[in-house]
Amino acid sequence: MRITVFTLSIFLASISSFGQDNGWMTFPAKSDSIATADSLDFTKGGGNITVHKDKRIEDLEKFVRSGEESLDGVLIDGFRVLIYFDQDKTKAEQQKAHFLSIYNDLSAYVDYLAPNYRVRVGNFRTKLEAEKLKQDIIGIFPTAIVVEDKIQLPSLNTGTDSNN
């Protein structure tokens, strides 16, 4: 029994000696060892920063930005009419061909937005113009809706003005 009490008292004494607060085992560290915003001087100049980056990052940035301009030119905000969407690309292409057989003066686009292929038509600057086309084709394409999209710049008429 004496040995157990003696061992227990030695154990407790050793724990209490390590439990003293001398700063090296505390978390968070004492405030005198941490720089606060008040103690920092942000007006000092003279620091240098060196950035090391892989050259391939610039090539990757150019590649990503290349999507901003299409083969047909710069894209702007506008509207198109979504006439069809399906998971089958063949059906989407058939609907595009069907639309172009009726309205060959408008553009039609098939693109993939998982999990569907979408057929969008027209390049309209205003929603009103897109709504007019939608009303014209709603009997043929009953699921047609107007959507915001990036459109190609409208072509300018090169003919002469009748007022000159």
* pLDDT(19) > 80: no
- pLDDT for the residue 156: 62
What's the mean pLDDT in 65-90?
79
- pLDDT for the residue 50: 87
- pLDDT for the residue 159: 59
- Residue 103 DSSP label: -
The partner residues of 111 in beta bridges, in order of sequence, read 118
* pLDDT(79) > 80: yes
- pLDDT for the residue 164: 47
| Residue 126: other Cβ atoms inside 10 A | 10
For the chain, the average pLDDT equals 80
The partner residues of 80 in beta bridges, in order of sequence, read 147
Locate the domains of the chain by residue range. Answer: 78-152
If one compares 138 and 61, the residue with the highest pLDDT of the two is 138
If one compares 58 and 72, the residue with the highest pLDDT of the two is 58
pLDDT level of residue 10 (50, 70, 90 thresholds): confident
* pLDDT digit string, tens, across residues 117-155: 999 999 999 999 999 999 999 999 999 999 999 888 766
Task: Of 146, 84, 144, give the one whose Cα is nearest residue 119.
Answer: 84
Please tell me the pTM assigned to this model: 0.52
- pLDDT for the residue 69: 53
Site of tokens 């459109």: 151
If one compares 62 and 104, the residue with the highest pLDDT of the two is 104
E runs forming strands in 28-107? 69-70, 73-86
Classified by CATH at the fold level, domain 78-152 comes out as Alpha-Beta Plaits (3.30.70)
* pLDDT digit string, tens, across residues 103-112: 988 989 999 9
| Residue 117: other Cβ atoms inside 10 A | 21
Q: Answer for the pair 144, 138: CB distance below 8 angstroms, yes or no.
A: yes
Q: How far apart are CA 61 and CA 51, in angstroms?
A: 17
